[in-house]
Structure 1
Amino acid sequence: MQLADDFWRLAHHDVTGKPRLNERAAGLGLAAALLGELLWIGRINVRDGRLWVVDKTPPDDVLEHTVLEQIIAQPQHGTIGIWLDFLAHDAAQLVAQRLWRAGHLRRETSRRLLRSDEVRWVPVDWNVAHWPTARLSIYLRDRAQMSTTDAFLAGLVATTGLDEGLLRTAPAASHDYLRHLVATAPPPVHELLTYTHIAIGQSVLSYRT
Structure 2
Amino acid sequence: MQLADDFWRLAHDDVSGKSRLNGRAAGLGLAAALLAELAWAGKINASDGRLWVVNKAPPADVLGHTVLEQLVAQPQHTTVRIWLDFLAHDAVDQVAQRLWRAGHVRRKESRRLLRPNGVRWVPVDWNQAHWPAARLSLQLRDQAPMSQADAFLAGLAAATGLDEDLLLDAPTASRGYLRHLIATTAPPLRELLTQAQAAVGESVLAYRT
Q: TM-score range by the shorter chain?
A: over 0.9
- Distance in 2, matches of 1:189 and 1:55, equals 17
Show the counterpart of 1:33: 33
- CA RMSD in angstroms comes to 0.7
Tell me how far apart the structure 1 counterparts of residues 198 and 158 of structure 2 sit (CA, whole Å). 13
Q: Which residue of structure 2 lines up, in the alignment, with residue 200 of structure 1?
A: 200
Mapping of 1:33-112 within 5 angstroms? 33-112=33-112
Matches of 1:186 and 1:41, distance apart in 2? 13
Structure 1 residue 30 displacement after superposition:
0.3
Q: Structure 2: 5+ residue runs without aligned partners?
A: none
Question: Which stretches of structure 1, 4 residues or more, deviate above 3 A after TM superposition?
Answer: none
Percent identical across equivalent pairs? 73
SS at match of 2:168: coil
Range that drifts further, 176-185 or 56-65: 176-185
Q: Distance in 1 between matches of 2:187 and 2:120?
A: 36
Q: Deviations over 1:28-82 (max 9, x none)?
A: 0000000000000010001111101000101100000000000000000000000
In 2, distance between residues paired with 1:121 and 1:168?
Answer: 26
Aligned to 1:11: 11
* C-alpha separation in 1, matches of 2:46 and 2:163: 25
* More off after superposition, 167-176 vs 7-16: 167-176
Shift of 1:110: 0.7
Structure 1 alignment gaps of length 5 or more: none
Alignment partners' CA distance in 2, 1:164 and 1:82: 28
Describe how 1:102-141 pairs up with structure 2 within 5 A. Answer: 102-141=102-141
State TM-score, norm by structure 2.
0.98
Q: Secondary structure at the match of 1:106?
A: strand
Distance 1:157 1:199 in 2: 14
1:161 match: 161
Letter in 1 for 2:107: R
1:123, distance to aligned residue in structure 2 (A): 0.1
1:186: which partner in 2? 186
CA separation in 2, counterparts of 1:135 and 1:208?
33
Quote the Cα distance in structure 2 between the aligned partners of 1:43 and 1:101.
24
Size of the alignment, in residue pairs?
209
| Amino acid in the other structure paired with 2:80 | I
Letter in 2 for 1:13: D
After TM superposition, give the deviation of residue 184 of structure 1 in Å.
1.9
Aligned residue identity for 1:186: A
The amino acid of 1:185's aligned partner reads T
